[in-house]
Amino acid sequence: MAIKRKPPAHENHERWLVSYADFITLLFAFFVVMFASSQTDKAKARQISEAVEKALEGKSTGVPPLVAKILGGTVDDTGQGNAQMRGPGGAKREAKDVPPDMITELIPSLKKLSKELEEEIQGGKLEVRLEPRGLVISLRQSAFFPSGTDEMPPNMYPTMAKVAGVIGSLKNSVQIEGHTDSIPIHNARFNSNWELSAARAIAVLNLFTSKYNLPETRFAVVGRADTVPVDTNDTDEGRKRNRRVDIVIVDMLALKAVSAGSPPAPASSAQKH
């Protein structure tokens, strides 16, 4: 009797669908994780942004461009902010950028000075802003020093008392920087803009230490002449902005970053006569 042979099994040409389905599942899981990470960054950035807005609520004057720059990458912005730095498609973080937590240390002082010096700020006598290195109070030469001199008129002492009060409430180191425009000076007292810028910085130091009894050990004095302008020296208005004394309340967190090998960006402002 003949043995019945089984017909050959039908070859399955769709086995590839199993591997394809596994691949799609893994890919879906990967994108879910990436999306969740991105949403976490956005939430953190939104919290930081709201905290800063509350700290500066009702005060547009004196709000530093740096805060807006760092907090720009919120949910609705793909700029240089923290939220988009680490998420997919975000901008690359530059080495000079400063994390938001390095700025928040001095935000209460910024708020206080912006409120107490509102009249002077609106009158163009000074500027208050945050930079990577710290809180900067920029005194305009035209308001605080007569042309070509390092003597501050007594009518500016009440303003300086407010600044001294904030400095006295903090433990941060303070650097006082004198700046000039590029027009050379030569009079009976000063032979160069270097001497003038340093003398004005020293005059501010002496006021803080002698009149307001702040300890000398907290201060450093720098004369920069016209080497760090904040505006062009080709116009009268630009030269007026460059003639200044910057009082820098040093951000201690930024200072730690310097020791760790990540120095903050240099000041973007200068002043002169």
Do 178 and 254 lie in one domain? The reply is: yes
Do 77 and 166 lie in one domain? The reply is: no
Do 133 and 89 lie in one domain? The reply is: no
The total number of structural domains that make up the chain: 2
41-62 per-position pLDDT tens digit: 555 556 655 655 555 554 444 4
Do 64 and 139 lie in one domain? The reply is: no
Strand blocks (E) in 65-120 = none
Phi, psi dihedral angles at 257 (to 5 degrees): -65, -35
H-type helices in 8-77, by residue range? 16-55, 65-70
Average pLDDT rounded to a whole number, residues 232-239: 94
Q: Which residues constitute the domain of residue 207? A: 100-259
Backbone torsion region of residue 246, taken as left when φ is above 0, otherwise alpha when ψ lies between -120 and 50, otherwise beta: beta
Do 147 and 72 lie in one domain? The reply is: no
Do 179 and 90 lie in one domain? The reply is: no
Kindly report the CATH number assigned to the domain that includes residue 155.
3.30.1330.60
Q: Which of 64, 97, 130 is the last residue of a domain?
A: 97
**Which segment of 2-6, 79-83, 200-204 scores lowest on mean pLDDT?**
79-83
Do 179 and 251 lie in one domain? The reply is: yes
Q: What is the DSSP letter of 77?
A: -
> Does the residue 9 lie in any domain?
no
Contact at 8 Å (CB) between 197 and 225? yes
Q: With pLDDT > 70 as the criterion, what percentage of the chain qualifies? A: 62
Do 63 and 190 lie in one domain? The reply is: no
Cα–Cα distance, 270 to 259 (Å, whole number)? 25
Do 127 and 220 lie in one domain? The reply is: yes
Q: What is the mean pLDDT of the chain?
A: 76
154-212 per-position pLDDT tens digit: 999 999 999 999 999 999 999 999 999 999 998 889 999 999 999 999 999 999 999 99
Q: Which of 97, 119, 141 is the last residue of a domain?
A: 97
Please indicate, yes or no, whether the overall pTM of this predicted structure exceeds 0.85: no
Cα–Cα distance, 244 to 201 (Å, whole number)? 9
Q: Which of 71, 97, 123 is the last residue of a domain?
A: 97
Do 122 and 234 lie in one domain? The reply is: yes
Cα–Cα distance, 101 to 104 (Å, whole number)? 5
Phi, psi dihedral angles at 40 (to 5 degrees): -65, -45
